[in-house]
Protein backbone atom coordinates (compact mmCIF):
# COMPACT_ATOMS: atom_id res chain seq x y z
CA UNK A 1 0.00 0.00 0.00
CA UNK A 2 1.36 3.42 -0.87
CA UNK A 3 1.91 5.83 1.99
CA UNK A 4 -0.57 8.32 0.53
CA UNK A 5 -3.10 5.49 0.13
CA UNK A 6 -2.69 4.59 3.78
CA UNK A 7 -3.20 8.21 4.80
CA UNK A 8 -6.40 8.38 2.75
CA UNK A 9 -7.69 5.40 4.77
CA UNK A 10 -6.82 7.12 8.05
CA UNK A 11 -3.76 4.94 8.71
CA UNK A 12 -0.21 5.77 9.64
CA UNK A 13 2.64 3.46 8.72
CA UNK A 14 5.51 2.69 11.06
CA UNK A 15 8.48 1.09 9.34
CA UNK A 16 10.08 -1.71 11.38
CA UNK A 17 13.10 -3.91 10.74
CA UNK A 18 10.86 -6.88 9.93
CA UNK A 19 8.10 -5.10 8.03
CA UNK A 20 5.56 -2.38 8.49
CA UNK A 21 3.06 -1.70 11.25
CA UNK A 22 -0.21 0.04 10.46
CA UNK A 23 -1.66 2.38 13.04
CA UNK A 24 -5.29 3.43 12.75
CA UNK A 25 -7.25 5.84 14.78
CA UNK A 26 -8.77 7.17 16.56
CA UNK A 27 -11.78 5.79 14.71
CA UNK A 28 -15.32 5.50 16.00
CA UNK A 29 -16.55 2.06 17.05
CA UNK A 30 -19.96 2.80 15.59
CA UNK A 31 -20.79 4.52 12.30
CA UNK A 32 -24.05 5.81 10.92
CA UNK A 33 -25.08 4.04 7.70
CA UNK A 34 -26.82 6.57 5.45
CA UNK A 35 -28.44 3.90 3.24
CA UNK A 36 -30.05 2.09 6.16
CA UNK A 37 -30.49 5.16 8.33
CA UNK A 38 -29.14 3.28 11.33
CA UNK A 39 -26.08 2.95 13.50
CA UNK A 40 -23.77 0.04 12.70
CA UNK A 41 -20.89 -1.62 14.54
CA UNK A 42 -17.95 -1.22 12.20
CA UNK A 43 -14.54 -2.03 13.64
CA UNK A 44 -12.24 -4.88 14.48
CA UNK A 45 -11.37 -4.10 18.07
CA UNK A 46 -12.15 -7.58 19.35
CA UNK A 47 -9.98 -9.17 16.64
CA UNK A 48 -7.15 -6.80 17.51
CA UNK A 49 -7.44 -7.80 21.16
CA UNK A 50 -7.91 -11.55 20.80
CA UNK A 51 -6.22 -12.52 17.57
CA UNK A 52 -3.47 -10.20 16.44
CA UNK A 53 -0.66 -11.22 18.76
CA UNK A 54 2.75 -10.75 17.21
CA UNK A 55 5.91 -8.72 17.68
CA UNK A 56 4.23 -5.61 16.33
CA UNK A 57 1.02 -5.73 18.35
CA UNK A 58 0.44 -5.76 22.07
CA UNK A 59 -3.27 -6.64 22.37
CA UNK A 60 -3.58 -4.80 25.69
CA UNK A 61 -2.38 -1.57 24.07
CA UNK A 62 -3.95 -2.13 20.64
CA UNK A 63 -7.36 -0.71 21.54
CA UNK A 64 -7.51 2.70 23.13
CA UNK A 65 -9.84 5.56 23.74
CA UNK A 66 -9.27 8.67 21.62
CA UNK A 67 -6.94 10.06 24.28
CA UNK A 68 -4.66 7.00 24.06
CA UNK A 69 -5.74 5.33 27.31
CA UNK A 70 -6.24 1.56 26.92
CA UNK A 71 -9.78 0.24 26.82
CA UNK A 72 -10.26 -1.94 29.93
CA UNK A 73 -10.00 -5.67 29.22
CA UNK A 74 -13.41 -6.33 30.80
CA UNK A 75 -15.05 -4.00 28.26
CA UNK A 76 -13.40 -5.82 25.37
CA UNK A 77 -14.47 -9.16 26.85
CA UNK A 78 -18.04 -7.88 27.24
CA UNK A 79 -18.01 -6.93 23.53
CA UNK A 80 -16.62 -10.36 22.65
CA UNK A 81 -19.39 -12.01 24.69
CA UNK A 82 -22.07 -9.95 22.91
CA UNK A 83 -20.64 -10.85 19.51
CA UNK A 84 -20.59 -14.54 20.44
CA UNK A 85 -24.19 -14.38 21.72
CA UNK A 86 -25.37 -12.75 18.50
CA UNK A 87 -23.41 -14.99 16.12
CA UNK A 88 -25.02 -17.37 13.66
CA UNK A 89 -23.18 -20.39 12.25
CA UNK A 90 -23.78 -21.01 8.56
CA UNK A 91 -23.95 -24.78 7.82
CA UNK A 92 -21.68 -24.83 4.76
CA UNK A 93 -21.96 -27.51 2.10
CA UNK A 94 -19.75 -28.06 -0.91
CA UNK A 95 -20.64 -25.61 -3.67
CA UNK A 96 -22.32 -23.07 -1.40
CA UNK A 97 -22.02 -19.37 -2.17
CA UNK A 98 -22.49 -16.69 0.44
CA UNK A 99 -22.88 -12.99 -0.26
CA UNK A 100 -22.20 -10.67 2.66
CA UNK A 101 -23.03 -7.01 2.92
CA UNK A 102 -20.04 -5.83 4.91
CA UNK A 103 -22.06 -2.93 6.31
CA UNK A 104 -24.93 -5.14 7.47
CA UNK A 105 -23.13 -7.94 9.30
CA UNK A 106 -19.92 -8.54 11.14
CA UNK A 107 -18.32 -11.71 9.85
CA UNK A 108 -15.50 -14.02 10.77
CA UNK A 109 -14.89 -17.73 10.85
CA UNK A 110 -14.58 -20.45 13.42
CA UNK A 111 -11.75 -22.95 13.32
CA UNK A 112 -11.97 -25.61 10.63
CA UNK A 113 -10.32 -28.79 9.40
CA UNK A 114 -8.46 -28.54 6.10
CA UNK A 115 -8.75 -28.72 3.21
CA UNK A 116 -10.62 -25.48 2.78
CA UNK A 117 -10.80 -23.31 -0.31
CA UNK A 118 -12.36 -19.87 -0.21
CA UNK A 119 -12.76 -17.71 -3.27
CA UNK A 120 -13.53 -14.10 -2.39
CA UNK A 121 -14.39 -10.99 -4.32
CA UNK A 122 -14.84 -7.48 -3.04
CA UNK A 123 -17.18 -5.17 -4.88
CA UNK A 124 -19.12 -2.00 -4.40
Kindly report, residue by residue over 15-74, the tens digit of the pLDDT.
888 778 777 766 777 888 888 898 887 777 766 666 666 665 677 777 777 787 888 888
User: CB of 58 within 8 A of CB of 65?
Assistant: no
Integer distance in angstroms from the first to the last C-alpha of the chain?
20
Domains contained in the chain, number: 1
Domain assignment present for residue 17? The answer is no
Q: The domain containing residue 78 runs over which residues?
A: 26-124
DSSP conformation letters of 88-110: ------TT------TTT------
Query: Mean of the per-residue pLDDT values for the chain?
Result: 76
Q: Quick check: helix, strand or coil at residue 24?
A: strand
Q: Quick check: helix, strand or coil at residue 38?
A: strand
Closest CA to 26 of 42, 10, 46: 10
Domain assignment present for residue 1? The answer is no
Q: What is the pTM of this model?
A: 0.57
pLDDT at 36: 85
Domain assignment present for residue 94? The answer is yes
Domain assignment present for residue 38? The answer is yes
Amino acid sequence: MKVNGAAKLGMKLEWLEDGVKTVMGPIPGIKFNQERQQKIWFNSMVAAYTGWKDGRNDPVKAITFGDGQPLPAEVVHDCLSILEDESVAIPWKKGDVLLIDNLAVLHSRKSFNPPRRVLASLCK
